[in-house]
């Protein structure tokens, strides 16, 4: 993308320059050009970062990249925190290679010291975007087949993280699942707050902090001294499936009152029961399985299994993959679980 200006405009606007850098992890340290933010399509944002679509020019049939950059509007004291988190994410992502996890492409440092993490472009939208769109269109739950596909592919990604890489994702939710087309591909993204697991799939560092996102956090991560294992991801995974069935955010149903008139945000905030919200965290949200119908039975069962309050009663990612790939009954997988009607 180029920009031109007449001589009379000179001094009024300067075209943001692209950043040409040598990247960590690109082939042979080959220089790459990261366009300035205004010249890339914004795909989304997260805590302290923005994500852009980078079209790679000059290469035949080159696939685009997703570029994560520190948000320049962040408070100065927070920039260092987000840069360190981006450093960690780049380090972790570089060591991963799985079809259901976004791939590493390059890690660049601009002349001003800002970080740019270039990743595989996994699709136009996150699962959360699709949920919000479906809700806005007045639709109900995603078709059961779509939910089952997401369930299997995300479970495969988690199995790889847990069993092969000994990593806890640490922030599973619909925002961190990207979808290409009509569920052509399903990939986990955002490993920036992942935690190392030991051979028993427990978080190995007793001082490690589980970040997560409140509505998806299991009980053991909210209690001081709670043992955090791979099953923390499984709880949040179960809630991600619940999102697809309800088109809602866990424990925030009190904010989904369509009867509120425009301009009543203040009154809604005043009526928000904060104590009740915090009491619900780490518990299983309600689900009207009868309204969903019989085709959702397996996904309802999986949701119940994954959101057991006792982590030992939740299946592992490997057991979920085994059950879904073999089409075996979910309550017959070799794990300590209880099926709740």
- Among residues 9, 129, 136, 171, which one is catalytic? 171
Q: Which of 273, 221, 247, 280 is nearest to 131 (CA)?
A: 247
Is 171 catalytic? The answer is: yes
Cα 329 off chain centre by:
28
Phi, psi of 154 (to 5 degrees): -70, -40
Q: What share of the chain is helix, strand, coil (3-state, %, to 5)?
A: 40, 15, 45
How many Å separate Cα 219 from the centre of its chain? 20
Secondary structure element (H or E) that encloses residue 48, with its range? none
Helix (H, G, I), strand (E, B) or coil at 202: strand
Cα gap 59→247, rounded to integer Å: 40
Q: Do 240 and 174 touch, CB atoms closer than 8 A?
A: yes
Q: Return the beta strands (E) in 65-114 as ranges.
A: 65-70, 104-109
For 37, phi and psi rounded to 5 degrees? -50, -40
Q: How many CA atoms lie within 13 A of 341 on its CB side?
A: 0
- CB distance 106 to 25 below 8 Å: yes
The size of the chain, in residues, is 341
* Among the listed residues 256, 106, 101, the one whose alpha carbon sits nearest the alpha carbon of residue 169: 101
Contact 176, 145 (CB under 8 A): no
Structure tokens at 40: 């890339």
User: Exposed e or buried b for every residue in 297-316, given b needs 16+ CB within 10 A?
Assistant: ebbbbbbbbbbbeebeebbb
| Catalytic (active-site) positions | 171
């Amino acid at each position: 993308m180029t920009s031109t200006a007449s001589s009379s405009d000179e001094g009024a606007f300067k075209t943001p320059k692209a950043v040409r850098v040598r990247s960590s992890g690109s082939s042979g340290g080959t220089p790459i050009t990261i366009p300035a933010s205004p010249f890339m399509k914004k795909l989304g944002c997260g805590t302290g970062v923005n994500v852009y679509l980078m079209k790679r020019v000059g290469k035949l049939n080159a696939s685009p990249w997703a570029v994560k950059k520190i948000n320049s509007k962040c408070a100065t004291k927070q920039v260092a925190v987000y840069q360190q988190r981006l450093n960690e994410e780049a380090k972790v992502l570089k060591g991963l290679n799985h079809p259901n996890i976004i791939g590493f492409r390059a890690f660049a440092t601009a002349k001003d010291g800002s970080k740019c993490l270039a990743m595989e472009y996994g699709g136009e939208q996150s699962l959360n975007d699709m949920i919000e769109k479906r809700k806005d269109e007045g639709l109900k739950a995603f078709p059961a087949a779509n939910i089952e596909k997401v369930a299997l592919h995300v479970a495969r990604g988690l199995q790889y993280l847990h069993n092969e890489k000994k990593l806890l994702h640490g922030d599973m939710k619909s925002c961190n699942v990207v979808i290409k087309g009509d569920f052509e591909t399903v990939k986990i993204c955002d490993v920036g707050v992942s935690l190392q697991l030991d051979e028993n799939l427990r978080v190995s560092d007793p001082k490690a902090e589980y970040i997560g996102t409140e509505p998806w956090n299991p009980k053991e991560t909210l209690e001081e001294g709670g043992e955090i294992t791979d099953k923390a991801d499984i709880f949040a995974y179960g809630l991600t499936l619940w999102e697809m069935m309800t088109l809602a955010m866990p424990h925030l149903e009190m904010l989904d009152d369509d009867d509120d008139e425009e301009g009543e945000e203040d009154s809604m905030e005043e009526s928000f029961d904060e104590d009740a919200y915090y009491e619900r965290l780490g518990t299983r949200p309600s689900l009207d399985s009868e309204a969903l119908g019989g085709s959702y039975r397996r996904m309802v069962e999986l949701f119940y299994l994954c959101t057991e309050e006792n982590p030992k009663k939740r299946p592992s990612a490997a057991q979920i993959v085994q059950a879904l790939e073999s089409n075996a009954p979910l309550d017959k997988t070799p794990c300590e679980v209880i099926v709740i009607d």
